[in-house]
Structure 1
Amino acid sequence: MWRNIASNALTLFILILIVGVGMIAWGKREFTQAGPLEQAICLKVDRGSSFSRLSSKLDELGAISYPQIFRIGVEYSEKSSLLKAGSFLVPEGASMEEITDIVTRGGASTCGTEILYRVGVLNAVMQVRELDPATQKYKVTAEFKPSELEGNAPDRYQTMRDESDTRFRIAVAEGVTSWQVVESLKGADFLTGDIAELPQEGSLAPDSYELKAGSDRSELIAAMSNAQARILADAWENRIDGLPYANAEEALVMASIVEKETGLAEERRQVASVFVNRLNKGMRLQTDPTVIYGITKGQGALGRGLRQSELRRETPYNTYVIDALPPTPIANPGRAAIEAALNPDSTEYLFFVADGTGGHAFATTLKEHNANVAKWREIEAQRANQ
């Protein structure tokens, strides 16, 4: 009898063991395989939340099938104390393991609300944007220009500015001047601190900068300056031979001229080649943007055409009169313009003029150039009569 009892007990133990091993294997499979989420979502995790509350929320959103398995899996992977607050993009079909990684890895929120401040050549625009998880595209829900603001900012902006999981970003366009950057940053009320002095022209790297609410303006300027110094140093190190620059600073001046002369990426190296060829031949650059900078000092757009008297007046920035580069950059050039100035195309071009399509017509002789100018004036006349 005892033998039968022992045999039955052993059999039961083996069955329990088999079931236990099977349950563990099933749970592990459920934790790692693709989940039931049919469409990407933006998952908001509040400060002070727990995996227990999060598992219930995920269950309600249809992102997981078994909340208990999710909690056990989190414990087993030793991540139960690593939950981060924020808004996180959870992709379609994400497994419980992937979701765990998303909400514990840290870093900035990956979806939800973003306040984007676009600092452009003509104006600076503040936008409140929401990421649509399904399309991965942003939708602007509020927009205004701080410089034109009368009274308070839109309610939507004020509300989202104070939310803990709102992300902040400043996008500085290529070709803005240092004065424009500093003046625009004064309109970003989510930043703090003052900028003690105007940064040197050309010393700030146009780019997109992720920030936190309360970031210091002077620290942002320092980051932009350090980035530009690295970009210029790398490009100078990889420059081609035979360039007419005494140092990297002169290359930066050239890059700023290239930046202001063309907005087409495919033209930058051609435009740079024209100016390099002219310098190598001892010709004047004869470029309008430098003359304009001499008038405005980079403090906004001229807002009109250049006068003949301005083209004849001798100033350090009038390249129709001076025989070399102007003394400083005329804007903050981007990486592509800097690289173009230090690696221009190999051409014999000495002239260029607008061609009516947004680009330029290039020429090697004055006769060719005059013909291109005549075509451009014809286009201008036709547009004026429309």
Structure 2
Amino acid sequence: MTDPTSESTPSAAPKKRRRWPWLVAALLLVLVLAGAGTAWIARQHYIQPGPLAADATLVVERGSGVQAIARQLESAGIVRRHWELLIAARLRESARRLRAGEYAFPAGISLKGALDILESGKTVVRRLTIPEGLTSAQIVELLRAETALSGEIAEVPPDGTLLPETYHFSYGDNRAELLGRMETGMRELLAQAWEKRAPDLPVATAEQAVTLASIVEKETGVAAERPKVAAVFVNRLRLGMRLQSDPTVIYALTEGKGPLDRPLTRADWKLEHPYNTYFIAGLPPGPIANPGAESIRAVLNPDNHEYLYFVADGSGGHAFAETLEEHNRNVAAWRRFQREQGQPAEEVE
């Protein structure tokens, strides 16, 4: 009979050998779980809210590399550490897709969100409003004063060639190019309005229409009055009467360089100057300002009435008259209003 222990010895060795695959598998599982955990943590860090406390804008200059952009975002408090953005940018292969420009970052934006914005190229849209009735020199000064624009303007365009309205631009856009957009806007608007003009107007060209529109623009700031004021000047031109517009006298005195720092006098009306419509008959040689679209349309489609005179009425608008006698009564009412308001009386023709 054999010893029972002789059979148990050989069977124990194989059981020991079978534990190694389990240990290897367990180790691999731990590594996989650790890697997955690290990836999950990294992913959460990538999409979690960032440190930016309030909405902010940032200008990324042309030629900035990913390192410079990352440090810029860290300095601005948009990301916690610049190297985190560097790693994320390289992992998503976006280093070459980051674009220059001015960007808006909302408060708490994530690392992912910051990279999305920088890759999108959707820069901040700025606005520059050009008021109606400015001279071209004044408009050029507005462009030169806008620090978000770049480049120089070599020449001031002639008055009446720029369209006043609100223009959209991005940081770093060229001043001369924006000025070119104003010139294009005026040409296109004038061509469309000229095609739709009323018949038998006393203006022979679109350029003359702009000249008359510039006078209307300076005479009234009330939009609803423009066709009415335009019709007064149209009536005068048809009758061969002088326009007698004070803004043309001011333009003659200042050479279009800016406002006059004093009231007009009767001596000013006698100034011998091609832009003084108290001195010359008909239209002046060119526009005295850059009129807006509504003034141009008003001149090309004026109201139908018989008024030949108008004067301020104290409400911001004007009182209109067909006869000189009626006009004189309106002038007396205007002077009475000025006295009651303690205003110095203006000379009125």
Paired amino acid for 1:43: L
* Residue deviations 1:176-228 (CA, integer Å, cap 9, x gap): 43566679999999865854xx74332234566969999797x7766654443
Rounded Cα–Cα distance in structure 2 between residues aligned with 1:99 and 1:305: 57
Query: Can you give the 5+ residue segments of structure 2 that lack an aligned partner in the other structure?
Result: 1-14
Kindly state the Cα deviation for residue 62 of structure 1 after the two structures are TM-superposed: 5.0
**What does 1:1-386 align with in structure 2 at a 5 Å threshold?**
5=21, 9=25, 16=32, 20=36, 23=39, 27=43, 35=50, 37-43=52-58, 45=60, 50-51=65-66, 54-55=69-70, 58=73, 62-64=77-79, 70-71=85-86, 73-75=88-90, 77-85=92-100, 88-106=103-121, 174-178=132-136, 194-195=154-155, 199-206=157-164, 224-239=182-197, 243-265=201-223, 267-279=225-237, 284-308=242-266, 311=269, 316-320=274-278, 324-344=282-302, 350-357=308-315, 359-366=316-323, 369-382=327-340, 383-384=342-343
Contact 1:202/1:256 (CA < 8 Å) preserved in 2?
yes
Could you tell which deviates more after superposition, 204-213 or 372-381?
204-213
Question: Given residue 249 of structure 1, which amino acid in structure 2 is its aligned partner?
Answer: E
Percent identity over the alignment is 41
Cα distance in 2 between the residues matched to 1:318 and 1:61? 57
Q: 1:329 to 1:55 in 2, by over 3 A?
A: closer
Structure with more helix by fraction = 2
When the two chains are superposed, the root-mean-square deviation of aligned CA atoms in Å is 5.2
Q: Deviations over 1:19-53 (max 9, x none)?
A: 849956983x7656765533112335467655456
Structure 1 residue 352 displacement after superposition: 2.6
Q: In structure 2, give the amino acid aligned to 1:380.
A: Q
The answer to whether the 8 Å contact 2:101/2:171 transfers is no
Q: Deviations over 1:317-338 (max 9, x none)?
A: 4434655333321222234433
- Contact 2:160–2:291 (CA<8 Å) still a contact in 1? yes
Measured at CA, do residues 58 and 211 of structure 1 come closer, stay the same or move farther in structure 2, by a change above 3 Å?
Answer: closer
Cα displacement (A) at 1:252: 0.5
Letter in 1 for 2:339: A
Which is higher, the Rg of structure 1 or of structure 2?
2
Shift of 1:264: 4.3
Q: Structure 1 171/374 Cα, relative in aligned 2: closer, same or farther at 3 Å?
A: same
Report 1 or 2 for greater relative contact order, CA contacts < 8 Å, sequence distance ≥ 6: 2
Asked if the contact 1:352/1:360 (under 8 Å) is kept, the reply is no
What amino acid does structure 1 have at the position aligned with 2:106?
P
Greater alpha carbon shift after TM alignment, 42-51 vs 84-93: 42-51
Looking at structure 2, the residues matched to 187 and 52 of structure 1 have their Cα atoms a distance apart, in angstroms, of: 32
The answer to whether the Cα contact below 8 Å between 1:88 and 1:110 also exists between their aligned partners in 2 is no
For the 8 Å contact 1:192–1:214, the answer to whether it is kept is no
Provide Cα deviations, 1:159-190, integer angstroms capped at 9, x if missing partner: xxxxxxxxxx9976543435666799999998
Alignment partner of 2:107: what SS? coil
3-state SS in 1 of match to 2:95: coil
Secondary structure of the 1:271 match is helix
Residue type at the aligned position of 1:92: A
AA aligned to 2:97 is L
SS in 1 for 2:97: coil
Q: Distance in 2 between matches of 1:53 and 1:305?
A: 57
SS in 2 for 1:235: helix
**Preserved CA contact (<8 Å) 2:54 2:107:** yes
Larger strand share, 1 or 2: 1
Distance in 2 (CA, whole Å) between partners of 1:23 and 1:223 is: 51
Q: Pick which of 368-377 and 59-68 moved more.
A: 59-68
Q: Counterpart of 1:37 in structure 2: which amino acid?
A: L
Figure out how many residues of one structure are paired with residues of the other and give that number: 324
Partner Cα separation in structure 2 for residue 310 and residue 350 of structure 1? 22
Q: C-alpha separation between the residues in 1 aligned to 2:178 and 2:80?
A: 45
2:191 is paired with a residue whose SS is helix
Q: Is the 8 A contact 2:252 2:276 kept in 1?
A: yes
Alpha-carbon distance change, 57 to 272 in structure 1, aligned in 2, over 3 angstroms: same
**Partner Cα separation in structure 2 for residue 37 and residue 186 of structure 1:** 33
